[in-house]
Amino acid sequence: MRLGLDVGGTKTDAVAVAPDGAIVARTRLATGWGPDAVVQTILAAVSGLCADPALATADIRSVGIGIPGRIEPGSGRVEHAVNLGVETLDLAAAVAPALGVPVRVENDVKAAALGAASLRGGTQSMGYLNLGTGMAAAVVTDGVLWRGARGGAGEIGHLSIDPAGPVCRCGQRGCIEALAGGGAVSARWGKPGALPIRDIFDAADAGDAAAVRLRTDLARGVAAAIRVLVLTADVDTVVLGGGITALGTRLEAQVAAQLETSAHESAFLRSLQLVDRVEILPVGAPAAALGAALIGAEAADEREVLSHG
């Protein structure tokens, strides 16, 4: 049995995956704040899964953890997971002694990409675009995640698409994330509310000009990110995930309108049939936790090769 955890800013989602890839148990709990509380959350999530009757006699082979922030390639160390109150944490070293199995740590967007590809099945290439507080992407081809040379693959949120666009928290102008990242859009909206992006869509539907502008910018940014993934990596499909995709068809329609505008302008873009290549990850799908379990399994497989080979 492989365990996979997705440690999010508010919730931690944990699954147990059988050797055939089926999810046999799942648990969710609130994520604690700061390094110690994050470690305790992870241990509690594993205990919660192990208490599931489906795992009563199962052998736990590995634990994979998806978590926001930068993960040094090949290490289990997390940096700049600001939404968790973690500046730096050697997470694998902190949890492995208590767990007693190989632990692997990966950026949550990369884990979600791998999980989404597994949930979709097949071997087609897939780009995953995470629309959350920030914006980042990952690419999976033949079931393999592209990690890049220095762990920075998929940071397309910081490509500028408009030199006259809003200033990004990174310092540039017109970054895709400045137009379409949930945090940046909420800050530009500037009104309180638990679901600011939904409020913006509602206000735009009611004719509020500022909301219409923000909604259009958001869709422009998402459409640009989709084009970046297809024109660079030529992925078959781009799957959208992350909190903003809870807007479902309301988001999809805005993004499709932007893609159709560029397809109308350009025969080349029209030939790419981008609208047909975009999907939204079903709400509640355990993509990141499943992907984390698959990444943990890689670690265990490598250890077995080392000890047997």
Helix (H) or strand (E) holding 162: none
d(CA 184, CA 146): 27
**Cβ-based nearer residue to a second copy, 47 or 123:** 123
Residue from 2, 110, 158, 215 touching a second copy (CB under 8 A): that is: 158
245: contact with a second copy by CB under 8 A? no
**How many CB atoms within 10 Å of residue 108?**
29
253: contact with a second copy by CB under 8 A? no
Q: Residue count at the site for a second copy (CB under 8 A)? A: 46
Taking the complex as a whole, how short is the minimal distance between the CB of residue 162 and a second copy, in angstroms?
A: 6
**Cβ-based nearer residue to a second copy, 10 or 271:** 271
DSSP 239: E
Residue from 9, 21, 85, 148 touching a second copy (CB under 8 A): that is: 148
Structure tokens given for 123: 């071997």
Taking the complex as a whole, how short is the minimal distance between the CB of residue 150 and a second copy, in angstroms?
A: 6
Q: What is the dihedral of CA 272, 113, 197, 82, to 10 degrees?
A: -140
**Cβ-based nearer residue to a second copy, 104 or 147:** 147
Taking the complex as a whole, how short is the minimal distance between the CB of residue 192 and a second copy, in angstroms?
A: 29
* Rg, C-alpha atoms of the chain: 20
d(CA 150, CA 145): 14
**Cβ-based nearer residue to a second copy, 39 or 233:** 233
Taking the complex as a whole, how short is the minimal distance between the CB of residue 299 and a second copy, in angstroms?
A: 20
Residue from 52, 79, 90, 162 touching a second copy (CB under 8 A): that is: 162
Residue from 117, 168, 219, 278 touching a second copy (CB under 8 A): that is: 168
SS (H, E, C) 99-137: HCCCEEEEEHHHHHHHHHHHHHCCCCCEEEEEECCCEEE
d(CA 72, CA 78): 7
Binding mask 254-273 for a second copy (x = CB under 8 A): --------x--xxxxx--x-
Residue from 8, 154, 286, 291 touching a second copy (CB under 8 A): that is: 154
> Do the beta carbons of residue 239 and residue 281 sit within 8 Å?
yes
Helix axes 209-233, 196-205, angle to 10 degrees: 110
- 143 burial (CB, 10 Å; 0-12 / 13-18 / 19+) is middle
Residue from 19, 74, 142, 164 touching a second copy (CB under 8 A): that is: 164
Region of 49-57, 89-97, 113-121, 169-177 interacting with a second copy (CB under 8 A) = 169-177
308: contact with a second copy by CB under 8 A? no
Helix axes 182-189, 196-205, angle to 10 degrees: 60
Region of 59-67, 171-179, 240-248, 278-286 interacting with a second copy (CB under 8 A) = 171-179
121 to 140, contacts with a second copy by CB under 8 A? Answer: 124-125, 137, 139
Helix (H) or strand (E) holding 260: helix 249-265
CA angle in degrees (0–180, nearest 5) for 99-29-282: 110
Residues that bind a second copy (CB under 8 A): 124-125, 137, 139, 141, 146-156, 158-164, 168, 170-173, 224, 227-236, 262, 265-269, 272
